[in-house]
Structures are given as C-alpha cells and as structure tokens.
Chains A and B, each alone.
Chain A
Amino acid sequence: MGVALTRSAQWTAAGHGAKTLEVTPLNEAIVKEIMMFVESFIYKYPQEANYVFVEPLEWKTNLDPSAFGSGYAVSGTTVKSEEVDKNGEPLLYLSVPKIKIRSFGQLSRMLYIAKSMKLKEAQACIEANRNPVAKILGLDYNIINEKNGNSFVASVLDKMNKDDDPESEIKMKIALQLKQLDLHLLNHSLKHISLEIRLNSGTVKNDIELLKQFSGKGEQTVLESIEYTSDYEFSNGCRAPPWRQIQGEICYVLVKPHDAEILCVTCSKEGVFLNGGKTDDEGQINYERKGEIYKDLVTLLKEKSAIFSENMSKQEVKFSEQLQKDQPNKAPKEEVAVTHKTSITSRKSAQEKNRINLGRSQLTKRLEPSLNWRTSVSSKESRNTLRDTQVEKHGGKLEKSRSSLSPGRAQLIRKSVEKIEEIISDSSSESEEDEEQPDHRQEANADLPSEYWQIQKLVKYLKGGNQTATVIALCSMKDFNLAQETCQLAIRDVGGLEVLINLLETDEVKCKIGSLKILKEISHNPQIRRNIVDLGGLPVMVNILDSPYKSLKCLAAETIANVAKFKRARRVVRRHGGITKLVALLDCGKHSAEPAQSSLYETRDVEVARCGALALWSCSKSYANKEAIRKAGGIPLLARLLKTSHEDMLIPVVGTLQECASEENYRAAIKAERIIENLVKNLNSENEQLQEHCAMAIYQCAEDEDTRDLVRLHGGLKPLASLLTNTDNKERLAAVTGAVWKCSISKENVTKFREYKAIETLVGLLTDQPEEVLVNVVGALGECCQEHENRIIIRKCGGIQPLVNLLVGINQALLVNVTKAVGACAVEPESMMIIDRLDGVRLLWSLLKNPHPDVKASAAWALCPCIQNAKDAGEMVRSFVGGLELVVNLLKSENKEVLASVCAVITNIAKDQENLAVITDHGVVPLLSKLANTNNDKLRRHLAETISRCCMWGRNRVAFGEHKAVAPLVRYLKSNDTNVHRATAQALYQLSEDADNCITMHENGAVKLLLDMVGSPDEELQEAAAGCISNIRRLALAIEKARYS
C-alpha cells in the first residue's frame, strides 16, 4: 500500500507540517479500502494479527478512553490493552490524545470500537504514518516494496530460505498481504481516475455551438442565450486567459436559461462548474468555483434549469444526432455550406468564390497570434486596433470578401464593439423580439417548394432586365404569398434582397416603388429584417424619405417601420438622420389646398404622415431615438396629428407617444402640448387598439400629479372605469388598469372612481387575470385603500381574501403592490381580523425573506398596521418561529428603505414587553446603534422612534449610550424634517434617563437645539424636548449639589 499511498493518494500541497489527505472521492475510496483490509485482518489471518510491529503506529486520536471495554485497562485518560508483547508492553496504549498500536489485531479492534468514527481514525492514522509498511515490517521490507514486482517474489523467497525462523515467515506473509492490498488499491484508484471526466476544448466547443443552435426566444428553445465571455480563441482552442489555462480551464460561458438568472460557467478539463460570475465594474470573471463539478455543460444546465431539461428531453434525439454528425466531419460540412451559399447567388463568379475561400482560410489563420490575448479581455479600442492591423495585413481584398461572405461573423464583431452603446441607448419599454435569432437557411438538398424556383427565375429577370422587365418581374413577385416564410426566405436565398436594395439606389421611380412594395411585405420576417440591415438597406431607404414622390416616401417609411423592430436597425436609422426625416413626414396639412392626385406617384399628405408615425413608433423603442424625435420637434407635430380623427393615423401616433412617455422630458412636453385631452377623447373610440394605447399613454404620463388632474378634468376617469368591465382583451385591460392605478394616486380621482363603482370592478378583477393585469389592479386597490370608505368597500366586496391569496406569488412587482394593499387594509381592525384569520400576517412575515429589497420593505411596512391592529399582537408575533430573529437580522440590510421599514416594524413589535426582551436578546441595540450615522430622514425618523421604544427594556438606555448612538441622534435635531425632530426628541427624552447619556447630549450641544424645539407648535415635540432638557438640568443640579455639600 506504500506505492498506492505515495502515488495515487492526493496529498494537500501544504509546504510544511503534517500533510493531510485532500477530501476527494479517490482518497476516500483508498482509505475505505485500507480500513476494510484492516478490519477483516483479524478474522482472515488470526495468526498474523498477533504479529508485533517493528515500530508502533502512532497518531492523535479522538477516541474517548471510556469507549474501551473488556480487554483493556482504563484509568483516567490512559488505556492499556491487556494484550502485551514479549516484553510485557501493551500492544495498544492510549494516552489522550495520542494512541500507539503495534499489531493488526489491535488495529482491527480499535476500528471496531471507533464505530462511526473509524473512517476518521483510519485517515488520521494514515496521515500520521506516511510510511506504515516500514513501521510494520521494518525498513528493509520497505525497500523490497519499492523494487519492482518480479524481483520482489525472488527476494522474498530468498529471505525465507536465509532465515528460517517463524517470525520472518509471518513477516513475509504480511508483506505479501500488504503487497496485494497495494496492488488492489492501485487498481481501484485507476478505476476512479478513469471515471473522472476529461474534457477538451473541442468537445466543449461542440457542445456550446450545438446549444447555440437550439437557443433563442420562444418556448421550444432550450436556452434564451449562451455565449462566450471572450471572443478571442487561442490556437489551442481555449478562450481562458493563459494563467487560467494552467489550471485546466478552457473557457467561460454566460448562459441565460428561461427560468433562471444568467449563469456564469467555467468549462475546465476537470468538468463544468459555476464560477463567481462576472464582476460588475470591470467585466472580470471571478474564477472561484461556486458549485459542484458536472461532467459536461448539458448535465450542469439540466441541474440548474427545469425548462432546459424539459426542452432538452424533447430535443435530445435531434441534439445527439447532430452531435454525432457534427463531430467527425465538421470541416467538410462547413465547406458544403459555403459552396452552397455561393452557388445560389448565381451572380458570383467562380473567381469570387476563390476569393471567399481565401478569405475564409485567412479568417481562421487570424486566430493564431496568441500573444495578443489581452485584447480579447480588455477594452474595445484595443480590439479594434488588433482587427485593423489584421485587415491591413491581409489587404483590402479580405475586407471585401469578408463582408460578402459572413454577415454573421462581421455582425458578431460589430455587435461586441457596439454593445456598450446598445446597453445605454435602449429602453425596453415593451417586450420586443430583439433577440437575434439563429439564421436558418434552407437546406440545399431539402425538397424546395416550387415557389423557390419561380422566385429564383424572377430574381434572374430582375438582375438582367431593363426597366420594363424589372417592373414585370416585381409585379409578378408581388403576387406570391409574401407573408409566407418560404417565399420570404426564398427571395433572400436566391440573392433577391441584394437586387431589391440595389434597385432602391437607381433613378427609376417605378422600380423603387415595386421593390419597396416587396420589401415592405417580407420585412415582417425577423430574419429578413436583419438581412436588410446587414446589406445596408436602411440608409438607402432613409434617403428615399427625401424623395419628391409621396407614395415612395410612404413605402419607405412603412418598410422602415417594419425593419426597425430591433435595436441595431433603430440605431442605423438614427445615425443616418432618419429620425429627423421621419419627423418631417409628420408635418402635413400645412398646404391645406392639396392638389388632386395629379401624378401616379402622389398620395395624400395624411397617408405620408401616417407612414411617418408608423416608422417613428417602431424607432421610438430606443431611448436615444426618443430623444432624437423630441429634438427634431416631433412632439408638437404628433400633438397636431392627434387632433385628427383617422384611426389609422391615431394608432401609430398614440403608440409613439405612449412609447416615449416613459421619459420625463416627454411627459412634461405632453402636458405642455395639451395632449392628454386628446388621449382622453380617444379612450372613447371604438378601436380597441387605440383605446389600449391611449390608456397606456395615460398610464405612463399619470406619474405626474398635474397630469392626473388633467385626466380627471377632461373626463377621462369615466371611460377608464367603464373599460374596466370589458375583460376580453387582456392587453387593453392591462393598459386600462395601469391607467386607473396611476390616476388613483390622486385622492380626487379615487373619489371619482368610487362614484363610478370602479373599486367593486377592480376587486372583481383580482382573480383569473394575467399577472400584468393583477399588478395594476392590486396597485390601484392599494391606492384606493388609503381612504377609509374604500377600505370598507373592498372588505364588503370580499376583496381581502383574493388579496391575501396573492401574497404567495413570485412576481416582484405584484408582491410589492399586494403587500401595500394588504397593509393598507390592515389599518381597519375589522379587515385585520379577516387578514389574521387567513393567516395573512404569516405570509407577510415570510415575505421578509424575499430576495428583492423592494418586496422586503413593502412587506415590512405592511406588517406595521397588522401588528398595531391585531388582537393579542404580542402573542401573534411570538407565534412565528424565528420571526423576531429574522426581523432583527434585517437591520443588517444595506437598503435604506428596508432599514426604515424594519425599524418601523420593530417599533411596533417592541410595544410588547416580552417581545422587546426577546429582540434585545437578539442584539437589536447594537444593530440599531450602528445605523445611527445616517442622513436619510426617513430612516432617521423611524430609527429614532425605534430607539425610543427599545429604551423601555432593561439596561437598553445604557446600552445605546455604550454603543455610541446618542451623539448621532443629537445631530438629527439639525434636520429639516419635523417628523425627525419629534421622533428624535422622544428618543433623547428616553435616553436622558441615563446620566451618561445626558453628559453625551450636553457635550454634543443638545440643549440649545432642544430649547429651539420647545418653541415648536408640535405639542409632542415640545413635551419630549422639555422632558429631555429637564432631565439634563436635573443631573446638572444634582452634580452641583453633590459638589457643594
């Protein structure tokens, strides 16, 4: 076993001192094997078991002397075995904590006695005796062991012949047994090692590529996204920086499953595990292992994401098939793909194809210079320079072919460079399908639909025809079902997009119109949109917006509206001045005397404005575009268009406004342009979509108090209330309830809603609605609940039960609103009884464990009235096991709102003496004292209230002084908030009961500040300040008295 121990067992790399065995499965197995060997030794070889070791095995044990029974002499801290050697020395000698054992028999017995601890003992023994064989048999046997196997038997026989005494025979037998064990252990560990996973960069890459293909938005995909943290790949296929590669790490990937947060995963040779994630500031990765090691990425993800494993099992067959297909002949397949691509774009000559191949090989070559590794992790500038130099090196030719060959790759590079801007420039005010989905081209050998060939022919005529032929081909192409994906993709795959975009750059108006008519239709397809952007179609269309022909402008704007559905496209539109031009389109109706449709290419001005608004609507989903629209003077124009009565026009106009109203600037402008009036007017429209967008816009704008009043003054509350009753259209319902919620922040509006019986309707909406609706409904009810009458209405309509039921949800926004509403209801003692009966307080209390600070704070605020109004509040609070400790520990939070709310809860809890005692035991005083140095007035107020309440128990007053809470409190008196003053004065009054605190207050100039407070109109404040002064003064008098008497 010597060899096994030295070679296989994994020792910690501690430099000095006793080495210990690492806790690895392999070591555990080895120790277990040895233990089993020793344990059974006494039965299998009773004779050899009595053999006395040359030297005792000695180690520190955890065994208790009392554990030893018959056969041992136990005295205090020492144990001697009754079994002795020839010289009368005991074979086992334990003197706590050291143990010495000199025979296998005793070893076996010891392990038997140790019972559950035997594994530990065996390990301690092995750790303390690094060379047990030498100790057992003597050094010469150890040497034999080190020699190789063949000579070993010979030398054993040799020895046996030489000295013929029985002891050496036994020795030999033991040596043979040990040798066997050693071999067994080595075999065993070999098995273990072979089980261990060895990943390499190739398999990892394949896995990731495959997963990528099955990722994206939608229910069918296994993941939302998976990407490397670094774009740079070393020549060995690794993406980890070199110093991490030494650790066997291959690459890091960011995985976004459908049902979990982004996972940062390390793929290393040992396996796949979660690491510490990306640190926010520098984008560096925290390489620390944070979880178990899994054998591959798929296993890890199956463990982490339920949806992944579910969808994976659906796609398992497909996935593994592809895996098999991919691995052996990946390269040839790629070749096929390239040639396919080139062959279908028939225009490309063979020469060009060669160039593409050249470009390809150079692209792969580019990966080689690994000295530049730093660029992959550091800033984008250096990456750019790297790229530039590469391009220079290979000449302009590469540049050209690259753009034509792999839009995907170029796009990837561009994307990463522009990522930073993207992050800041985009608001996600609507769920948009921004996800760039995997590009799936039609398989070359798959059965192509007949449309494909017809379209291919038409594209040929487009390319090779004069104006007349082109127009015929375009018109014919338009007759295909362009809403159908096969046709859309067919146009692209035969190179039609390039031609169509090319046509836009000609002077032929008819060709441009025909081309745009087709582009407008096929750009409903997300893939086509991206292709259009990749081919540079947007700048051309933006230029057409200047065209003198209105119908052309319209078509261009409509196409832009379709294409600009994703971030990158919106940015391109803005960068090419598209926003200004689109805003200019809105400026119609100035020339009221519109000429009759004099030319074929004319259309009504209203139509132009409509298309402009449509495009702006799409563009307005990016933050920077909102700003650009405003700067281009879009708001007054939109406001004017809002006065028209065409629904077609109103929907995009209101849509744009609603989208933009997320910005403060816009809300101010919307107010200034008197837009609210028209929004309200259009709430009465017949069109559901229009109603929805108007309600949405009101929802966004009603953050502002004046706007809320405007909505009421223009009579908008009644239509909103009546729209609540129509629950079929969920999108509209969500928008309407949202508007009701925001409007009900104003009290006058709530009164109106009550008149319109909206509160009853809202209660009815508490069940069987989607979450978007629920969030708003509950939010609205929460606002309504601020008034006594409404609380009664809600209780009477049975609103409390569904509200309490919603407390078990997981949606954060919903939880924040529900807790607020429940808290507001709890103000009413009668309602509180119902909440208590439904176990609502316990639910609220458990929300204090919610990871989201907003939910925590909101739940804590809601608990305050609950504790205030519950019968037997103290008993109720105590009944929550661990509840008080949980609350006290929340004082360690870093969120000011959470802290303030928790302070408020503690104030209420502390009203009960018994509970106050418990929280004092949980250390509430030092925690509160630690918070004292804050500038947040809200926190100050509640903190001071809590402190004054907590002073009521034991020596807490003194303890606050000891924890230096008094001096900061005095400073609170300098705050501008009367509430803070009142709470602080009360706290100081309580604290001043302790003489030391009085001294501290006096030192910090409390007296002067308090004297000012005495003059306050607030009576409570007056009283507390006066009381505090009197305490300080009394102390001073007492001292003076003591001094002179």
Chain B
Amino acid sequence: MNRKKLQKLTDSLNKNCKHFSKFEVKCLINLFYNLVGEVTERQGVIIGLDRNAFRNILHMTFGMTDDMIMDRVFRGFDKDNDGCISITEWVYGLSVFLRGTLEEKMKYCFEVFDLNGDSFISKEEMFHMLKNSLLKQPSEEDPDEGIKDLVEITLKKMDHDHDGKLSFADYEQAVREETLLLEAFGPCLPDPKSQKEFEAQVFKDPNEFSEV
C-alpha cells in the first residue's frame, strides 16, 4: 500500500474514532496489515481477518475461551456481515473493545449476547450462554437444573418489565445499577490485564516505531 493512501486512511479513521490518537491509529493499521499478511491489493478482493484468524487473536491475546462468545464477538466486529473484518471494522471494533465508554460497551455487549439478533435476550439464549458456567455435580438428577435456576436468578435481577426476556432497556438499567453485570453472560471484553499488555505492546514508543 502506498504511503499516500495509508495517510488518507489514517486521517479518516482518526477523524471518526475519538478513542485513539493518530499515532495509535497508525499502530493499529500497522498491526492489522501485519496480521493479514502481505496480500497484494486487488480490485474486488476484500482484505481482512477471517473468522478463524480473529478468533485466534481473541484467544491468544485476550484469553477468551468460550467458542460461542468468540463467534459473537466476531459478529460484533464484523458490521457488514461479510465474514471478514476489514481495516475500518478493526479499528472501530477495537475502539469500543479497548476504550469504549460504558454506553458503547453496553451496546456492544448486548449485541454479543443477543444471539439471534432480535433485540431481546431470551431465556433460551441465556441458558445457552450459561450452560457451561456451573460445575456439573454428578449427584444432581437434572444437571441443567442449576443453570435454569441461574437463568431465573438473572431474570429476577435484570428483567425489570417482567416480560421474561431482557430488552436493551432492561439490560441498560441493570448495568447502570451494577456495572459488574456488563458482561453478565460471559466475558466479551478484554480483562484489564490483557488489555494493558495488548496496548503496551501495540502502542510502543513513537521513536522506536519510526525506526522500525
């Protein structure tokens, strides 16, 4: 990619993304191209990270393990649903992922948890997401009973309009009362430690960067 084009891209991304400085945007673009590899740009071919590559990053860098959640995170990043994350999607996604405000993060997380995209988190979706969250006790007759109970507890806590499912309003209200519920159904944001490490690694000293 030529220098001029890169500069233009950086400028446009920086304008639309308040959470990163120009330098940081540069670093992220750089990282993106490193990850994608040297693919010559051709007309009609979209350059980006596919599902597997992205999941790999989530797993290796941010320590995520839940397949389903990782898939949902990919969908969260992949705004245009083309099965691959473009450079724009990458920077925008990371801006929320790393630096997003509570509002942005709530929106993002709700999208992640709303598996079927119907703007509600239903009981079934909760059950699906929580099904591995409890240690299976062999003594129990119904191994799913604990999960069902946990779903009920969650609903009781978050379903303010008592319609048996969580709307975004329900979710928002619950999170504003207790921030810990932001990632109520599974970790879909980086934990602070790996976030710090990631940022430290990517946004290296500018002088160092220029030498590279």
Binding site for B on A (CB under 8 A): 457-458, 460-461, 464-469, 471-476, 478-479, 507, 509-510, 513-514, 549, 598-601
Taking the complex as formed, is B208 at the interface, i.e. its CB lies under 8 A from any CB of chain A?
A: no
Residue among B157, B184, B192 facing the most chain A CB atoms (10 A cut-off): B192
Encode contact with A along B174-191: 1 for CB under 8 Å, 0 otherwise.
000011111111110001
Q: Which residues of A contact B191 (CB under 8 A)?
A: 509
The answer to whether A600 and B102 touch across the interface, beta carbons within 8 angstroms, is yes
The answer to whether A476 and B133 touch across the interface, beta carbons within 8 angstroms, is no
Can you give 14 A-B contacts (C-beta < 8 A)? A461-B134, A461-B153, A464-B134, A465-B150, A468-B133, A469-B133, A471-B181, A471-B183, A472-B157, A475-B181, A476-B156, A478-B178, A510-B183, A600-B179
Known: A476-B153, A476-B157, A600-B179. A467 touches B187 (CB 8 A): yes
Known: A465-B133, A476-B153. A600 touches B178 (CB 8 A): no
The answer to whether A474 and B180 touch across the interface, beta carbons within 8 angstroms, is yes
The answer to whether B192 and A468 touch across the interface, beta carbons within 8 angstroms, is no
Binding site for A on B (CB under 8 A): 99, 102, 129-130, 132-135, 137, 146, 149-150, 153-154, 156-157, 178-187, 191-193
Q: Which residues of A contact B130 (CB under 8 A)?
A: 468-469, 472
Cα A601 to Cα B191 in complex, Å, equals: 11
User: Which residue in chain B gives the minimum CB-CB distance to A596?
Assistant: B101
The answer to whether B150 and A472 touch across the interface, beta carbons within 8 angstroms, is yes
The answer to whether A461 and B180 touch across the interface, beta carbons within 8 angstroms, is no
User: Which residue in chain B gives the minimum CB-CB distance to A508?
Assistant: B191
The answer to whether A464 and B179 touch across the interface, beta carbons within 8 angstroms, is no
Q: Which residues of B contact A510 (CB under 8 A)?
A: 180, 183
Q: Which residues of A contact B187 (CB under 8 A)?
A: 467-468
Shortest C-beta distance, A766 to chain B (Å), equals: 53
* Chief secondary structure at chain A's binding surface: helix
The 8 closest A-B CB pairs, nearest first, are A469-B133, A464-B135, A468-B133, A466-B133, A476-B153, A465-B134, A468-B186, A475-B178
Cα A375 to Cα B150 in complex, Å, equals: 55
Q: Which residues of B contact A469 (CB under 8 A)?
A: 130, 133-134, 150
Cα A475 to Cα B129 in complex, Å, equals: 18
User: Which residue in chain B gives the minimum CB-CB distance to A472?
Assistant: B154
User: Which residue in chain A gives the minimum CB-CB distance to B179?
Assistant: A600
Cα A384 to Cα B91 in complex, Å, equals: 65
The answer to whether A598 and B134 touch across the interface, beta carbons within 8 angstroms, is no
Cα A473 to Cα B157 in complex, Å, equals: 10
Other contacts beyond A465-B134, A468-B130: 4, CB < 8 A:
A464-B137, A472-B154, A507-B193, A514-B180
Cα A74 to Cα B129 in complex, Å, equals: 122
User: Which residue in chain B gives the minimum CB-CB distance to A548?
Assistant: B192
Contact with B192, one of A457, A478, A479, A549 (Cβ below 8 angstroms): A549
Q: Which residues of B contact A471 (CB under 8 A)?
A: 180-181, 183-184
Shortest C-beta distance, A624 to chain B (Å), equals: 36
The answer to whether B184 and A468 touch across the interface, beta carbons within 8 angstroms, is yes
User: Which residue in chain B gives the minimum CB-CB distance to A466?
Assistant: B133
Q: Which residues of B contact A598 (CB under 8 A)?
A: 99
Q: Which residues of A contact B154 (CB under 8 A)?
A: 472, 476
Q: Which residues of B contact A458 (CB under 8 A)?
A: 153
Q: Which residues of A contact B186 (CB under 8 A)?
A: 468
User: Which residue in chain A gives the minimum CB-CB distance to B69?
Assistant: A468
Shortest C-beta distance, A114 to chain B (Å), equals: 91
Cα A600 to Cα B182 in complex, Å, equals: 10
Contact with A472, one of B99, B153, B179 (Cβ below 8 angstroms): B153
User: Which residue in chain A gives the minimum CB-CB distance to B126?
Assistant: A472
Q: Which residues of B contact A464 (CB under 8 A)?
A: 134-135, 137, 146
Contact with A513, one of B134, B150, B180 (Cβ below 8 angstroms): B180
Cα A471 to Cα B182 in complex, Å, equals: 10
Shortest C-beta distance, B140 to chain A (Å), equals: 10
Shortest C-beta distance, A850 to chain B (Å), equals: 61
Cα A702 to Cα B125 in complex, Å, equals: 67
Q: Which residues of A contact B150 (CB under 8 A)?
A: 461, 465, 469, 472-473
Shortest C-beta distance, A602 to chain B (Å), equals: 10
The answer to whether A465 and B149 touch across the interface, beta carbons within 8 angstroms, is no
Shortest C-beta distance, B18 to chain A (Å), equals: 12
Contact with A599, one of B129, B132, B185, B192 (Cβ below 8 angstroms): B192
Shortest C-beta distance, A837 to chain B (Å), equals: 70
Contact with A601, one of B153, B184, B192 (Cβ below 8 angstroms): B192
Cα A507 to Cα B193 in complex, Å, equals: 10
Q: Which residues of B contact A466 (CB under 8 A)?
A: 132-134
Shortest C-beta distance, A597 to chain B (Å), equals: 9
Shortest C-beta distance, B192 to chain A (Å), equals: 6
Cα A599 to Cα B97 in complex, Å, equals: 11
Shortest C-beta distance, A464 to chain B (Å), equals: 4
User: Which residue in chain B gives the minimum CB-CB distance to A474?
Assistant: B180
Cα A502 to Cα B179 in complex, Å, equals: 22
Shortest C-beta distance, B170 to chain A (Å), equals: 14
Shortest C-beta distance, B41 to chain A (Å), equals: 35
Cα A479 to Cα B137 in complex, Å, equals: 26
Shortest C-beta distance, B188 to chain A (Å), equals: 10
Q: Which residues of B contact A457 (CB under 8 A)?
A: 149
Q: Which residues of A contact B135 (CB under 8 A)?
A: 464-465
User: Which residue in chain B gives the minimum CB-CB distance to A463?
Assistant: B135
Q: Which residues of B contact A507 (CB under 8 A)?
A: 193
Shortest C-beta distance, B150 to chain A (Å), equals: 6
Q: Which residues of A contact B134 (CB under 8 A)?
A: 461, 464-466, 469
User: Which residue in chain A gives the minimum CB-CB distance to B153?
Assistant: A476
Shortest C-beta distance, B182 to chain A (Å), equals: 7
Cα A600 to Cα B104 in complex, Å, equals: 13
The answer to whether A472 and B184 touch across the interface, beta carbons within 8 angstroms, is yes
Cα A601 to Cα B192 in complex, Å, equals: 9
Cα A509 to Cα B192 in complex, Å, equals: 8
Q: Which residues of A contact B179 (CB under 8 A)?
A: 600
Cα A599 to Cα B101 in complex, Å, equals: 8
Q: Which residues of A contact B180 (CB under 8 A)?
A: 471, 474-475, 510, 513-514
Q: Which residues of A contact B181 (CB under 8 A)?
A: 471-472, 475
Q: Which residues of B contact A460 (CB under 8 A)?
A: 146
Cα A469 to Cα B153 in complex, Å, equals: 10
User: Which residue in chain B gives the minimum CB-CB distance to A460?
Assistant: B146
Cα A479 to Cα B134 in complex, Å, equals: 21
Cα A445 to Cα B186 in complex, Å, equals: 39
Q: Which residues of A contact B132 (CB under 8 A)?
A: 466
Cα A471 to Cα B146 in complex, Å, equals: 15
Q: Which residues of B contact A465 (CB under 8 A)?
A: 133-135, 150
Q: Which residues of A contact B129 (CB under 8 A)?
A: 468
User: Which residue in chain B gives the minimum CB-CB distance to A477?
Assistant: B153
Contact with B185, one of A468, A478, A479, A513 (Cβ below 8 angstroms): A468
Shortest C-beta distance, A1009 to chain B (Å), equals: 83
Cα A1034 to Cα B24 in complex, Å, equals: 110
User: Which residue in chain A gives the minimum CB-CB distance to B184?
Assistant: A472
Cα A509 to Cα B180 in complex, Å, equals: 10
Q: Which residues of B contact A474 (CB under 8 A)?
A: 180
Cα A461 to Cα B134 in complex, Å, equals: 7
User: Which residue in chain A gives the minimum CB-CB distance to B189?
Assistant: A600
Shortest C-beta distance, B184 to chain A (Å), equals: 6
Residue among B99, B153, B184, B187 facing the most chain A CB atoms (10 A cut-off): B153
Cα A292 to Cα B187 in complex, Å, equals: 74
The answer to whether A475 and B137 touch across the interface, beta carbons within 8 angstroms, is no
Cα A601 to Cα B182 in complex, Å, equals: 12
User: Which residue in chain A gives the minimum CB-CB distance to B136?
Assistant: A464
